[in-house]
Amino acid sequence: MIVFGSTGQVASELKMLLPDAVFLGRAQADLNDPAACFVAIMTASPDAVINAAAYTAVDKAEDEEDIAALVNGEAPTQMARACAELGIPFVHISTDYVFDGSGETPFAPDDPTAPLGAYGRTKLKGEDGVRAIGGTYAILRTSWVFSAHGKNFVKTMLQISETQNSLTIVGDQIGGPTSAAAVAKACVRMTHQLKTEPDKTGTYHFSGAPDTSWADFAREIFVQTNRSVDVSDIPTTAYPTPAKRPSNSRLDCTATREVFGIERPAWTSDLTETLNELKVQL
């Protein structure tokens, strides 16, 4: 098996689950060169491919949409093309940012997409490319990924709380925090099933339960680490960013459960495991 990505959150977790897989980082496969991704797969002729690499700098993408489009759009399209030619499964990780975040109802996989910014547009381009190629694939949209690796909300909150005991956190964006470990396990399970059941090809959702706000997510982090930090909710308008964030990141994960037997993970339990991995003083 080949995994695109080496140091990212999900790729780091996949390394622990797939010790025999070949992991391709930037040195081995530069996603800025989509054709190289195609060649890498065709040359290795693996039994499956997981794409855990992406351009994830949401705000920076507003100024670098052309670069993000190569990495998030054209590269996975070329990966899918190689997998289709070899007749092997391709699992590609996507995002809730392909939706506009309107309403309060969880988004289903077949709901209309309407990205609010460059990051979402480029990820949608990748999805569309994979679907257009055909073959055996699973596009797995997820949200609010956290882990002991890389940059994420949990690590940011822990760092800030070292010097501050009062924080203002956005409280009107709702979604499902999802551990990278859970995403990695879902990707592996889907890959194995697709090998023998290609009819499961399609687009799926996967996020932690229950849905919550960023402010309440922060509160749980501080509760679990016994940190006395006062969190005050603020509206999104009080925390402007270059890229607009979706207010509703709820994902309907019903199909993922019904087709693959994968349940939504309890993010509070996964948070405990992440904090233990980070060796935070509890």
- Please give the full DSSP string across the chain, using - where no structure is assigned: -EEE-SSSHHHHHHHHH-TTSEEE-TTT--TTSHHHHHHHHHHH--S-EEE------TTGGGT-HHHHHIIIIIHHHHHHHHHHHHT--EEEEEEGGGS---SSSPBPTTSPP--SSHHHHHHHHHHHHHHHH-SSEEEEEE-SEE-SSSS-HHHHHHHHTTT-SEEEEE-S-EE--EEHHHHHHHHHHHHHHHHH-GGG-EEEE---BS-EEHHHHHHHHHHHTT---EEEEE-GGGS--SSPPPSEE-B--HHHHHHH--PPPBHHHHHHHHHHHTT---
Q: Annotated catalytic, 137?
A: no
Which residue matches tokens 């996964």? 270
Q: Which two tokens stand for residue 36?
A: 């190289």
Q: How far apart are CA 251 and CA 126, in angstroms?
A: 19
Q: Confirm whether 163 is domain-assigned.
A: no
Q: How far is CA 13 from the centre of its chain?
A: 12
Residue 91 domain boundaries: 2-152+177-209+249-265
Residue 108: its pLDDT value, please? 98
pLDDT at 280: 58
% pLDDT > 90, the chain: 95
Q: Which of 55, 97, 119, 137 is catalytic?
A: 119
Assigned domain for 162 exists: no
Model confidence, pTM: 0.96
For 52-109, write each residue's pLDDT tens digit: 999 999 999 999 999 999 999 999 999 999 999 999 999 999 999 999 999 999 999 9
Residue 210, pLDDT above cutoff 90: yes
Rounded to 10 degrees, the C-alpha dihedral 99/100/106/107 comes to: -30
Mean pLDDT of 8-18: 96
Would residue 277 count as lying in a domain? no
**pLDDT average, residue stretch 195-211:** 98
* Any domain includes 172: no
Number of independent structural domains in the chain = 1
Report the pLDDT value the prediction gives residue 27, as an integer from 0 to 100. Answer: 83
Task: Say what the pLDDT of residue 279 is.
Answer: 84
pLDDT confidence bin for 269, thresholds 50/70/90: very high
In this prediction, residues 183-201 reach a mean pLDDT of 98
Task: Decide if 164 is inside a domain.
Answer: no
Task: Give the CATH number of the domain where residue 13 resides.
Answer: 3.40.50.720
Which residue in 153, 162, 178, 158 sits closest to 276, CA to CA? Answer: 158
Within a domain: 31: yes
pLDDT band for position 151 (cuts 50, 70, 90): very high
The answer to whether residue 45 is domain-embedded is: yes
Look up tokens 């009080």; give the residue: 238
pLDDT at 38 over 90: yes
The pLDDT value recorded for residue 281 is 44
Which residue type sits at 47? D
Nearest to 50, CA basis, from 207, 251, 189, 258: 189
Asked if residue 46 lies in contact with residue 2, where contact means CB atoms within 8 angstroms, the answer is yes
Q: Decide if pLDDT at 282 tops 50.
A: no
| Within-domain flag for 77 | yes
Per-residue pLDDT tens for 223-240?
Answer: 999 999 999 999 999 999
Average pLDDT for the chain? 96
